[in-house]
Homo-oligomer: A and B are copies of this chain.
Amino acid sequence: MMSRPSSSASLPAFGHGPHDSSYALLSRRNSEFGSRYIQVDDSGVYLSSLVVTVLVSAIATIGILLFTLVVTLSVMLGSCQGQPIAVSADTHMRAVRSCDSFILNEEVNNVQGWVVSEQCKSHVADYMRGGQYYIDFAGAINAASDYLRTVPAQGDGLDVVVMDIDETALSNMPYYAEHNYGAELFNETVWDEWVYQQKGLPLHATLDLFNQLKDANIGVIFLTGRPENQRNVTSANLIAAGYEGWTELSLRLPGENGMTAIDYKSQRRLQYEKKGYRVWSSLGDQWSDLMGPAAGARTFKLPNPMYYIF
Chain A contact residues, CB within 8 Å of chain B: 1-9, 12-17, 28-29, 31, 33-49, 52-53, 55-56, 59, 62-63, 66-67, 69-70, 73-74, 76-77, 80-81, 84, 97-98, 100-105, 107-112, 131-132, 135-136, 138-140, 143-144, 298, 300-301, 303
Contact = CB atoms under 8 A, between A and B. Distances in A.
A135 B4 contact: no
B143 A111 contact: yes
Given A101-B139, A104-B136, A108-B107, A47 B45 contact: yes
A132 B47 CA distance: 71
Contacts of A63: 62, 66
A262 B4 CA distance: 110
A297 B24 CA distance: 103
Contact of A35 (B42, B67, B76, B107): B42
B41 A34 contact: yes
Nearest to A18: B38
Summarize A's interface: helix, strand, loop or mixed.
mixed
A139 B45 contact: no
Contact of A101 (B5, B100, B136): B136
Given A4-B38, A97-B131, A46 B48 contact: no
Contacts of A15: 49, 52-53
B12 A97 contact: no
Nearest to A101: B139
Nearest to A76: B77
Given A5-B37, A38-B4, A104-B107, A47 B49 contact: no
Contacts of A12: 47, 52, 55-56
Nearest to A73: B73
Across the A-B interface, give the 4 residue pairs with the lowest CB-CB distance, nearest first: A73-B73, A43-B49, A2-B36, A66-B66
B104 A3 contact: no
A301 B43 contact: no
Given A29-B39, A44-B49, A73-B74, 14 more contacts: A5-B37, A7-B39, A13-B52, A15-B49, A31-B41, A38-B38, A41-B49, A47-B47, A73-B73, A97-B132, A97-B135, A100-B132, A107-B107, A110-B300
A147 to B, nearest CB: 9
Nearest to A77: B77
Nearest to A298: B112
A35 B40 CA distance: 5
